[in-house]
């Protein structure tokens, strides 16, 4: 273990600890398994800093490692739970069919948001999570490897879907 | 860092978190456990073949006739060949960390496809190299013990070996199907 590795990890845990918890929640609905996933992400981050070469920003590196751990978790869980995942386009349509329900039926806003996110395929899940965390399109492209145009299209879809769900449909929490 | 332009972003960013912290000690323990698991996985791949090669080496040295020496020499060669092939083809590789998601998914799929090719071709790199040793052993035994009861025993032994070959082949085909399902899963979620 090197001190640089430790320092990078400390900075990551301190600055992005809360974001990593939110991210884990988007990849695992069960609270206990979610805590395990947070710990798995922390260990992966600490190990990854041994090879951090500074060719991308620390933030990009952290989100890449964390999302990749999350995606692996989703793939593992999908094999055991057999859960079907959808893309943003399909989710838009599914979300539309739910928008006619009353606000009370749809439960709390955060639960609804998590419900939407947890149905998404890993790559689209990365995009929506990064958007919700307030990252710009260029950063999202850097984290996911998607082209700027592709990211812009996906963000457009996300904004439309979220607007329908959380503005027109009421944003009770 | 965080910009809020959409109510959903506020809902997301304002959600309560537990503030999970991990001590350096726990992280190091977990990382060490992970490294040990990887190390043992790689070690297991070679140990069985090397033990078998050592055993055949002993038989080779203590053998009294040429055919026995040729037999055990062929087995030793086969075992060493298998170890080399395991190292070249079969070793589980660690995927690079910190790469973007698309690259990560592609590398992971590439690794699964590589592993699938290895288990699908188990005949060529694992089973076939062992065959010459068994053939020479059978011929040598049949020449040395020319009586029906010995040949019957030999036939039984060859049948058992053939059965083991089929079992190994079927296990690898099952592993290939499992890897194919993982690849299909990956294609479905990309």
The answer for A 151-170 residues in CB contact with B (under 8 A) is 159, 162-163, 165-167
Classify domain A3-81 at the CATH class level: mainly alpha
pLDDT of residue B33: 83
Size of interface A-B (CB pairs under 8 A): 140
**Annotated domain spans of chain A:** 3-81, 88-168
pLDDT of residue A104: 44
Does B177 fall in a domain?
A: yes
> Phi and psi dihedrals of A30, rounded to 5?
-70, 130
pLDDT of residue B13: 92
Give me the domain span that covers residue B178.
101-190
A61 contacts on B by Cβ (under 8 Å): 98
pLDDT of residue B46: 78
A87 contacts on B by Cβ (under 8 Å): none
Placement of tokens 């087995």 in the chain: B75
Task: Estimate the crossing angle of helix A3-27 against helix A31-48, to 10 degrees.
Answer: 150
Do A126 and B185 lie within an 8 Å CB cutoff? no
Report the domain count for chain B: 1
Q: Residues 6 or more apart from B57 whose CB is under 8 A from it? A: B72, B76
Using only C-alpha atoms, chain B has a radius of gyration, in whole angstroms, of 26
Does B124 fall in a domain?
A: yes
Does B68 fall in a domain?
A: no
pLDDT of residue B92: 60
Does B77 fall in a domain?
A: no
Q: What is the ipTM of this complex?
A: 0.83
Q: Residues 6 or more apart from A69 whose CB is under 8 A from it? A: A37, A40, A41, A44
Does B178 fall in a domain?
A: yes
Residue B39's SS3 state is helix
What confidence tens digit (pLDDT) does each residue in A47-88 have? 999 889 888 999 999 999 999 999 889 888 877 776 778 888
Q: How far apart are CA B46 and CA B82, in angstroms?
A: 9
DSSP class per residue in B58-74: HHHHH--SHHHHHHHHH
Do A134 and B2 lie within an 8 Å CB cutoff? yes
The residue length of chain B stands at: 190
Q: How far apart are CA A87 and CA A91, in angstroms?
A: 6
Q: How far apart are CA B94 and CA A64, in angstroms?
A: 16
Q: Work out the average pLDDT over A112-139.
A: 92
Taking CA atoms, A66 is separated from A7, A129, B6, B34, in Å, by 18, 12, 24, 17
**For residue A119, which of A108, A107, A128 has the smallest C-alpha distance?**
A128
The residue length of chain A stands at: 173
Q: How far apart are CA B25 and CA A46, in angstroms?
A: 12
What confidence tens digit (pLDDT) does each residue in A32-41 have? 999 999 999 9
Do B27 and A166 lie within an 8 Å CB cutoff? no
> How far does the CA of residue B39 sit from the closest CA of chain A (Å)?
16
pLDDT in tens, chain B (190 residues): 455 677 889 889 999 889 888 887 888 888 788 778 767 866 876 788 788 889 999 999 998 889 899 999 999 999 889 888 888 876 666 667 778 888 888 888 888 898 899 899 999 999 999 999 999 999 999 998 889 999 999 999 999 999 999 999 999 999 999 989 888 878 876 6
On the 0-12 / 13-18 / 19+ scale of CB atoms within 10 A, B123 is middle
Does B125 fall in a domain?
A: yes
pLDDT of residue A98: 53
Q: Residues 6 or more apart from B167 whose CB is under 8 A from it? A: none
> How far does the CA of residue B53 sit from the closest CA of chain A (Å)?
37
Does B170 fall in a domain?
A: yes
Cα first-last separation, chain A: 44
């Amino acid at each position: 273990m090197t001190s640089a590795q430790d320092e990078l990890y400390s900075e990551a845990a301190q600055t992005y600890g809360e974001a990593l918890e939110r991210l884990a929640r988007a990849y695992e609905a069960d609270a206990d398994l979610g805590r395990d996933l947070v710990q798995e992400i922390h260990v992966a981050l600490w190990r990854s800093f041994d090879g951090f070469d500074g060719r991308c920003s620390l933030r990009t590196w952290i989100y890449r490692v964390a999302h990749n751990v999350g995606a692996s978790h989703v793939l593992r869980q999908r094999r055991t739970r057999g859960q079907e995942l959808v893309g943003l386009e399909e989710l838009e349509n599914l979300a539309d069919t739910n928008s006619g329900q009353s606000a009370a039926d749809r439960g709390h806003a955060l639960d609804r948001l998590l419900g939407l996110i947890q149905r998404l395929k890993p790559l689209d899940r990365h995009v929506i999570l990064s958007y919700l965390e307030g990252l710009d399109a260029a950063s999202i492209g850097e984290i996911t490897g998607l082209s700027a145009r592709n990211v812009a299209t996906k963000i457009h879809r996300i904004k439309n879907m979220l607007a329908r769900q959380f503005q027109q449909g009421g944003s009770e929490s | 860092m965080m910009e809020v332009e959409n109510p959903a972003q506020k809902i997301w960013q304002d959600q309560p978190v537990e503030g999970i912290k991990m001590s350096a000690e726990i992280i190091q323990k977990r990382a060490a456990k992970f490294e040990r698991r990887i190390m043992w996985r790689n070690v297991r791949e070679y140990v069985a073949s090397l033990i078998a090669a050592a055993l055949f080496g002993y038989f080779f040295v203590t053998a009294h006739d040429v055919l026995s020496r040729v037999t055990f020499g062929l087995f030793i060669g086969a075992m060493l060949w298998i170890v080399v092939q395991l190292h070249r083809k079969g070793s589980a590789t660690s995927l690079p960390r910190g790469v973007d998601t698309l690259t990560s998914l592609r590398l992971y799929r590439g690794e699964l496809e590589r592993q699938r090719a290895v288990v699908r071709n188990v005949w060529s790199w694992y089973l076939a190299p062992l065959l010459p040793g068994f053939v020479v052993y059978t011929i040598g035994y049949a020449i040395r013990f020319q009586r029906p009861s010995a040949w019957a025993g030999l036939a039984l032994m060859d049948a058992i070996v053939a059965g083991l070959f089929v079992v190994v082949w079927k296990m690898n085909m099952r592993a290939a199907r499992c890897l194919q399902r993982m690849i299909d899963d990956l294609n479905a979620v990309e």
